[in-house]
Structure 1
Amino acid sequence: MIDLRSDLHGLPTDEMWDAMRSAKLGWATYGEDPSVNELQERMADLLGKEAALWVPTCGMANLVAMLTIAPRGNTVVLEASSHVVTSEEMGIEAIAGLDPRTLWAEDGRLDPVEVEELIVETRASMLVLENTHTRAGGTVLSPELTAELAVAAQRHGAYVHLDGARLFNAAVALGIPVRELAAPVNTVAVSLNKGLCAPMGTILAGRMQVIELAHRTLRRLGGASVHKAGIPAAAALVALDTLVDRLADDHRRARELGALLRAVPGLEVDPAEIETNIVLVDVLGAELYPEEFLRLLAERGVLGLERDTSRVRFVTHRLIGDAEIARAAELVALVIAEHAQTG
């Protein structure tokens, strides 16, 4: 099976498994685990922040940031299709008690003028950004645009949080240190279990006082009691040394997949718009709806995800090589051809 649903399906490397098996464990909840401590210190340095906190998931890290900073009942400004709004069960409302106000940006890149106007209008206390933007197809926020957006919020007293689940992908795509993308924001969450292949974990980074408060918030949510967090942390330390640069291979293969699928009659995809490792393909021209297309494709041995009413999503990762890209494109073409004959 060629699994292109998400990069979270990239398994740890042998070196990462070895590190997990040999990790010297301490009580992570009380700051006694050497791997967790090293990972937090190293990620804080990489992101240019004073402190960092290991959190089980990126969704929880985003929620912790909102609970820690924004008082209940306050307004938070976000892009309309951001992960916090569409894929985290509206914890922003149900748990944090916040009022999400959204702006639409087809490519996930908000307009600083519109953001500032909405923050002033709603007296929002927080702006949440996303880099890369998942539902827009892995699009990248540049450090310049991130800074413009942050200033638009911060000049009115609003706090800026960055959902950077795939921030390393953005940094690799732009060829810059990841700290340049995190510098303008107050807090940032970075996933360790997507392109970096750790079994679990996210880092939430920011000022020391904020991270100390965030740790208390995390304990209230029950997320600070992963007592053996040193096991996935040990894997993440190896990933930082060995897997960051190879994200460029995922990006290259995503563009290659896009180019191959563009040649399939009825499919619509522009390889030039593929910025990182996510490929969005419109299948309506092949007279198929995404759900039906994915069912037929799964029967042939390729898995993808439904993006919306016309598009499907494919995501490249460490376990997807050149051969898998070629084979996946071949099977997509076969499914389309067979449907055209029988339809």
Structure 2
Amino acid sequence: MTAVQKSPAETATDAAVEFRGVSRVFGETRALDGLDLALRRGELLALLGPSGCGKTTALRLLAGFDRPTSGEIRIDGRDVTGVPASKRDTGMVFQAYSLFPTMTAAENVAFGLRMRKVGGAERGRRAAELLELVGLGDRGGSYPHELSGGQQQRVALARALAVRPSVLLLDEPLSALDARVRVQLRDEIRRLQLAEGITTLFVTHDQSEALAVADRVAVLNAGRMEQVDVPQEVYARPATPFVAEFVGVMNTVPVSGGRITPGAAETTQVRPEALLVGAPDGLAGTVLTSTFLGPVTRLVIRTEVGELTADAVTRPGLPAIGEHTTVQISG
């Protein structure tokens, strides 16, 4: 399989952000290797990949915290490769909140406006407006230590939006939160991004997070772009073996006539939900693990073609660990 993506030239007419052949080398390490990527105006693009793939490097280069070894970065058609961070009109939300501990929530939100010499009345109005927007209208006088982690991250988001940046940068903004708050804030970020119509680059290593929130997903591997597409296409039609293995779970099985057939020369890749557990004419196996996931139960089944991962609708009578069952491609 080969990577599928549009070049910057193909998307330049509606591009708010462009990476043109961007590389960044640290000693012997090539963190980015000729990155070509365009963000469309008003979209949320998730930059996804494992640790060390170059996604945070790309974010830092776009923010102006670092400069590329080669290549060009453009915002709204303007070359900003050598422009300092303070002149780039971007807003940043960090993983660790980075709020000023001696400032109230409202003062934190208004900080960027104060740096831009915006008058006190306008700063107060904008801060109140943003805090209301993120559901913290009554916590403007609270200090960071008086807020929960989720509330602090909402303040950080409001602070980034307060200056009305042309591009919003999110650096793993949810990874420090517990699972329930993470989902809530993920949905909140998406709602606010749509309401503000702001072009957003969302860096994450969490596949489910990227697939749930993004207009498009860009998958990085070792500094190179593997695929850029809408979440449904990245999941259902991975462009490279790496994307297939990294995004979700994938089984590689020998097939003949569309069925799992031991010894068959042809192989195909099948997602867990496309495998039928307990098929009357399926491949025999033994359940190694069973994980309850609510609507579905994930089973790992040892077969003669290897261990297969299958998602079965949760119901009474599913095979337990150690029990024999069968598995086959559904349909």
Same fold (TM over 0.5): no
| More contact order relative to length (CA 8 Å, sep ≥ 6) | 1
Structure number with the higher strand fraction is 2
Higher Cα Rg: structure 1 or 2? 2
Which protein is richer in helix relative to its size? 1
**TM-score of the superposition, structure 1-length normalised?**
0.30
